[in-house]
Amino acid sequence: MKVTEHIKNANGKTLFSFEIIPPKKGKSIQDLYDNIDPLMEFNPPFIDVTTSREEYIYIEKQGLLDRKITRMRPGTVGICAAIKHKYDVDTVPHVLCGGFSKEETEYLLVDCHYLGINNVMALRGDAMSHQKYFEACDGGHQYASQLVSQIQNLNCGTYLHDVVEVDDTSNFCIGVAGYPEKHIEAPSLHTDLKRLKEKVDAGADYVVTQMFFDNKKYFEFVDAAKKVGIDVPIIPGIKPIAIKKHLQLLPQVFKIDLPQDLITNIEQCQTNKQVRQVGIEWAIQQSKELQAAGVPVLHYYSMGKSDNVKAIAEAVF
């Protein structure tokens, strides 16, 4: 079922969902299952699976460094299919512009359609680690809005190059990213919102936000989005802080602000176990307020470990 259908069928009740990351190459999928199992009692209607960008690695060969390209966490679509099969839950693969040509994206979407996966999250992806700015690969998209258009075209039976006789079209429900504190590269929040509107106009059905720690930012974002004509569901993304280093890491990587009270509480912690507890309590507080405000879904960034998300879900759902 589509994410938007799940939301509609919930009749205003806030749903629970979460995002996982594929295991590192060579690692078993069992660890993922062990972390999904405890969360299934909260009936997630869908689970997101991220896609990691490719990266360069350097292999020494006869005194010279040979540059190879690799993806450290491959398998997004396979994992989506495996989870869907094992838990009978909808899965949402993240589809990136970065590192994929339009043709590769078309084949990936065809795979998803055959597997009965009918939700996708369309994202641009970040620049590769050696790049200052994002660059589309040869034959790839520069912006997520173009990827949304490609997915919508496929939903209408329009393939990239081939004129084919179509009797079975896909019907993907498309999610896109939104940034309550604006995307790092956007010159202003208003400009970023206009870009978000372009994604919705291209066919996006819902938005999932970047993590935020002050609900006011989310509420203001939703109001501002409505003012520019964005009328699709905006799902808040919640990340429980788990380690002290997140105080530096999260603002640096995601260009987000942390509230002073949260910073003070974390600074007082002696161990990361205590930090994890503070992160859980903060996320519970955030979640309860968002739930009371009637958000459609509370979507948690689990980062592969579910104990803290389970503790939050127990308190909220």
Q: Which residues are catalytic?
A: 19
Both tokens of 113, joined, read: 């359609």
CA dist list (Å): 174 to 16, 119, 121, 201, 204: 18, 6, 6, 12, 5
Cα(290)–Cα(313) distance, rounded to whole angstroms?
Answer: 13
Binding segment toward ligand FAD, per CB under 6 A, in 184-192, 220-228, 262-270, 272-280: 184-192
Instruction: Decide: is 37 part of the binding site for ligand FAD (CB under 6 A).
Output: no
- Residues pairing with 48 in the sheet: 19, 92
Smallest distance from ligand FAD to CB 120, Å: 11
**126 within 8 A of 134, measured Cβ to Cβ:** yes
Side-chain half-sphere CA neighbours of 115 within 13 A = 26
Applying CB under 6 A, the site for ligand FAD has a residue count of 22
**Which secondary structure element, helix H or strand E, spans residue 237, and what is its range?**
strand 234-238
Instruction: Please state the separation of Cα 240 from the chain's center in Å.
Output: 15
Instruction: Decide: is 208 part of the binding site for ligand FAD (CB under 6 A).
Output: yes
Nearer to ligand FAD, 185 or 267 (CB): 185
Instruction: Decide: is 205 part of the binding site for ligand FAD (CB under 6 A).
Output: no
Cα(72)–Cα(17) distance, rounded to whole angstroms?
Answer: 25
Binding segment toward ligand FAD, per CB under 6 A, in 4-12, 121-129, 160-168, 263-271: 121-129
Binding segment toward ligand FAD, per CB under 6 A, in 183-191, 244-252, 268-276, 302-310: 183-191
Instruction: Decide: is 306 part of the binding site for ligand FAD (CB under 6 A).
Output: no
Which member of 210, 215, 265, 286 binds ligand FAD (CB under 6 A)? 210
**193 within 8 A of 228, measured Cβ to Cβ:** yes
Q: Which residues from 125-144 bind ligand FAD, rule CB under 6 A?
A: 125-126, 143-144
Smallest distance from ligand FAD to CB 280, Å: 21
